[in-house]
Amino acid sequence: MRRLRINPRIRELVRETRLGPKDLVQPIFVDEGIREASEVPSMPGIHRLPLSDVGKEAGHLADLGIPAAILFGIPARKDKVGSGAYDPKGIVQRAVAAVKETTDLAVITDVCLDEYTSHGHCGVLRDGQIDNDATLQLHARTAVTHARAGADMVAPSGMMDGQVAALRAALDAEGFLELPILAYAVKYASALYGPFREAAASTPSFGDRRSHQMDAPNAREALAEARLDVEEGADIIMVKPALPYLDILAALRAAMDVPLAAYQVSGEYSMLKAAAGKGWLGEDRVVEECLTAIKRAGASFIITYSARDFARRAMGIP
Ligand code: PBG
């Protein structure tokens, strides 16, 4: 076996999995309440941006060869029904428009209420529980406002039952028949979302997300979730988090024919950054190895907070 490992050129020739900037999607946080970029304490290198910086950042990403960004909004005001999420002039809607004015970067939007509700839950509450069907209506309204703002793809992340069907019906009714849906179909109730919730100030004020996000020990259930979403009209299926769930990704790859996305989440990024910051791991090589593993397991593309830095290195920018 060693003949084909003898030097870097030969290894390159026989490499089974290739990773480049074109495989990556960068998340962007846009904060309605700030005037200057502000670093997320638990995510070194990741900033919440004011609306005025978003177009420029998107331009950088496009120049680096990254095909898409996924936008998350942090509204100046939150309320019980998450009105900021479906406000046609909301922060994400304006950010989408700003990006599309500046570049041809593809814009994916996260469709959920948790960043917009005062209680931090993904939908509207009834008797202390999320009301599934009332929430679907608001998610659908949100997706339509994103589409009108110019989004290239919408990504429902609330794990409500029937969310893909609800979005598809609403988008079609408004004429957005060609807008794809990237379904967070297989989203586990993970402890690795902590740094994101710090960034988006979206930690639930009571309870947790276990009534709708998946239970980590379950694998077969992931197939059921993914099949339902494809039946409802999902164009791409996402698994989240990524590295601890490669078995799930590989199983989906074997069972289904749609493109698969993987989300290397905030906690995965923070763990790497913390170890690298202490000099315990070499960040560049570990990031490349982890992202390659996610692709090897079956991801068509990866949402990762490391996209920008990875692409800079790939282009030889220090
Ligand atoms: C929900 C959403 C979350 C993430 C992406 N979309 C938060 C949650 O479910 O609590 C987490 C992403 C990450 O941790 O990087 N809008």
Query: Could you identify the atom of ligand 1 that is nearest to the CA of residue 184?
Result: 6
Cβ–ligand 1 distance for 114 under 6 Å, the answer yes
Determine which residue's CA is closest to atom 14 belonging to ligand 1: 193
Cα of 195 to ligand 1 centre, how many Å?
9
Cβ–ligand 1 distance for 117 under 6 Å, the answer no
pLDDT of residue 318: 79
| SS3 state of residue 251 | helix
Cβ–ligand 1 distance for 201 under 6 Å, the answer no
Q: Are 236 and 299 in contact (CB under 8 A)?
A: no
Cβ–ligand 1 distance for 265 under 6 Å, the answer yes
**Does the pLDDT of residue 223 top 90, yes or no?**
yes
Question: For a pocket test of ligand 1, which of 46, 157, 187, 240 has the largest count of ligand atoms closer than 8 A to its C-beta?
Answer: 157
Q: Going by DSSP bridges, is the β-strand pair 106-111/153-156 parallel, antiparallel, or unpaired?
A: parallel
List active site positions: 187, 240
41-50 pLDDT tens trace: 999 999 999 9
User: What is the maximum span of the chain, computed from C-alpha positions, in angstroms?
Assistant: 66
Cβ–ligand 1 distance for 196 under 6 Å, the answer yes
251-304 pLDDT tens trace: 999 999 999 999 999 999 999 999 999 999 999 999 999 999 999 999 999 999
Query: Could you identify the atom of ligand 1 that is nearest to the CA of residue 193?
Result: 14
26-75 pLDDT tens trace: 999 999 999 999 999 999 999 999 999 999 999 999 999 999 999 999 99
User: Is the C-alpha dihedral spanning 199, 205, 210, 212 positive or negative?
Assistant: negative
| SS3 state of residue 203 | coil
Using CA atoms, how far apart are residues 70 and 88, in angstroms rounded to an integer?
18
Cα of 291 to ligand 1 centre, how many Å?
19
Cβ–ligand 1 distance for 303 under 6 Å, the answer no
User: pTM of this prediction?
Assistant: 0.98
Calculate the alpha carbon distances from 98 to 55, 119, 318 in Å. Answer: 5, 29, 28
